[in-house]
């Protein structure tokens, strides 16, 4: 067991329900192991600006059920500069912070690697509503965001049925269609439109027209914000107009945007944040770092952050020259296997939406 004097916790990137549960668990577990804990306010910028608060067991009381993050969050560009990084390291030294647990998405993990490389062992917890981190099956916040979305979609279903209308709903997810896909299946939408799979617009429009002619009154179409028209416009609003013009079914458009990032975390998110948080502290105490805690086929496992970041680019076809140089043939084969698994998951749910929407 490595003896740490003090660890810091931060949340970075887009906030996600369940981040508070992660903060609480990391803090309580570390304190229980006799390690001091501090909170870093406002993500990596808190390290640069020396905005550090002490954390006792009571500091994290009553936050497990709260959305947002009590440590606040942002996307810090200064941290990517050498000067910003140096200020961050100086803050860690001044406060005797021996290690950090960082909760966030891929940008957060890049920062975690930079810190580890400069002598501050860091572990990442996946916290983003998007569920877009390839190395892990699940990211903290995804379930809550989908539950919030589906409550609002259910409301739209009621009014669509009353007025014999279609509602096109745009949900967040950046370049990942997971939220759109999950909510489309669970809300009984006629179609999900996601960045990963080409959308057959003509088929969907014909289907809506035929179903309307045969007496179906309400229609829902869920579009991921990452889907764009050829000239770069968000597709949801464009599709809504086309559906109305080409089917005669009156159509409205709704953008849920940041609403789904707020609100109470679900049991799934509190539970996962808690289990992952304990695991992160255990890893640090075992002297391990530069890891991201993942859920893989129902197990909690620690994965090397560099591997996770490159596996993510591999799956998203965003590899840059030299990205694979540091990896063995076995590791590259594992990335390919992982990419196939992710593609299959998306295709399977997409097919289910299509099969159940006639």
Sheet strand arrangement including 299-304: 52-55, 36-40, 6-11, 99-104, 122-126, 291-296, 299-304
CB of 324 to ligand F6P, least distance (A): 26
DSSP codes joined into one string, 132-193: --TT-S--BTHHHHHHHHHHHHHHHHHHHHHHT-EEEEEE--TT--HHHHHHHHHHT-SEEE
Radius of gyration (C-alpha) of the chain in whole angstroms? 22
Judge whether 130 counts as a catalytic residue: yes
Q: Which is nearer to ligand F6P, 12 or 204 (CB)?
A: 12
CB of 225 to ligand F6P, least distance (A): 6
**Which of residues 6, 51, 66, 174 is near ligand F6P by CB under 6 A?**
174
Are 193 and 223 a contacting pair, CB within 8 Å? yes
Q: Which is nearer to ligand F6P, 95 or 261 (CB)?
A: 261
CB of 299 to ligand F6P, least distance (A): 25
- What is the Cα–Cα distance from 80 to 90, expressed in whole angstroms? 15
Strand 291-296 relative to strand 299-304, pairing: antiparallel
182 lines the binding site for ligand F6P (CB under 6 A): no
- What is the Cα–Cα distance from 10 to 25, expressed in whole angstroms? 13
Within residues 130-149, the interface with ligand F6P by CB under 6 A covers 130
Within residues 200-229, the interface with ligand F6P by CB under 6 A covers 225
Q: Which is nearer to ligand F6P, 172 or 302 (CB)?
A: 172
From 130, 132, 269, 312, active-site residue: 130
CB of 102 to ligand F6P, least distance (A): 15
CB of 193 to ligand F6P, least distance (A): 15
Strand 99-104 relative to strand 52-55, pairing: unpaired
CB of 75 to ligand F6P, least distance (A): 6
**Which of residues 104, 173, 182, 265 is near ligand F6P by CB under 6 A?**
173
**Site residue total, ligand F6P (CB under 6 A):** 10
Are 87 and 48 a contacting pair, CB within 8 Å? yes
Residue 253: enclosing H or E segment and its boundaries? Answer: strand 251-255
Are 136 and 145 a contacting pair, CB within 8 Å? no
128 lines the binding site for ligand F6P (CB under 6 A): yes
* Residue nearest ligand F6P by beta-carbon distance: 14
126 lines the binding site for ligand F6P (CB under 6 A): no
Interface segment toward ligand F6P; rule CB under 6 A; list 61-69, 151-159, 171-179, 304-312: 171-179
172 lines the binding site for ligand F6P (CB under 6 A): yes
Q: Which is nearer to ligand F6P, 16 or 166 (CB)?
A: 16
**Which of residues 4, 8, 12, 14 is near ligand F6P by CB under 6 A?**
14
At 210, list the tokens.
């035929």
Nearest partner of 108 among 15, 18, 173, judged by Cα = 15
Catalogue the active-site residues: 130
> What is the contact surface with ligand F6P in residues (CB under 6 A)?
14, 105, 128-130, 172-174, 225, 261
């Amino acid at each position: 067991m490595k003896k740490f004097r003090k660890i810091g916790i931060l949340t970075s990137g887009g906030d996600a329900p369940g981040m508070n549960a992660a903060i609480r668990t990391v803090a309580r577990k570390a304190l229980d192991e006799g390690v001091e804990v501090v909170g870093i306010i406002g993500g990596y910028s808190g390290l640069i600006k020396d905005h550090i608060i002490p954390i006792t067991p009571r500091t994290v009381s009553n936050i497990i059920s709260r959305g947002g993050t009590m440590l606040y969050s942002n996307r810090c560009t200064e941290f990517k500069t050498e000067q910003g990084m140096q200020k961050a390291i100086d803050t860690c030294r001044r406060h005797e912070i021996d290690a950090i647990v960082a909760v966030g998405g891929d940008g957060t993990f890049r920062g975690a690697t930079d810190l580890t490389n400069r002598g501050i062992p860091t572990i990442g917890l996946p916290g983003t509503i998007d569920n877009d981190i390839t190395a892990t099956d699940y990211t903290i916040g995804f379930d809550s965001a989908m539950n919030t979305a589906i409550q609002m979609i259910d409301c739209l279903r009621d009014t669509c049925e009353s007025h014999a209308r279609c509602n096109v709903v745009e949900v967040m997810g950046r370049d990942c269609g997971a939220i759109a896909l999950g909510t489309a299946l669970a809300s009984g939408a006629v179609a999900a439109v996601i960045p990963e799979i080409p959308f057959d617009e003509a088929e969907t429009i014909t289907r809506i027209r035929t179903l309307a002619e045969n007496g179906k009154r309400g229609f829902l179409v869920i579009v991921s914000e990452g889907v764009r028209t050829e000239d770069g416009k968000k597709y949801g609003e464009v599709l809504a107009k086309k559906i109305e013009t080409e089917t005669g079914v009156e159509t409205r458009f709704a953008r849920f945007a940041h609403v789904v990032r707020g609100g109470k975390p679900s049991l799934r998110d509190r539970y996962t944040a808690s289990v992952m948080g304990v695991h992160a502290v255990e890893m640090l105490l075992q002297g391990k770092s530069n890891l991201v805690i993942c859920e893989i086929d129902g197990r909690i496992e620690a994965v090397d952050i560099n591997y996770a970041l490159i596996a993510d680019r591999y799956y998203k076809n965003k590899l840059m020259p030299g990205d694979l140089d540091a990896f063995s043939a076995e590791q590259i084969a594992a990335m390919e296997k992982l990419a196939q698994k992710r593609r299959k998951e998306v295709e399977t749910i997409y097919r289910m939406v299509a099969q159940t929407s006639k």
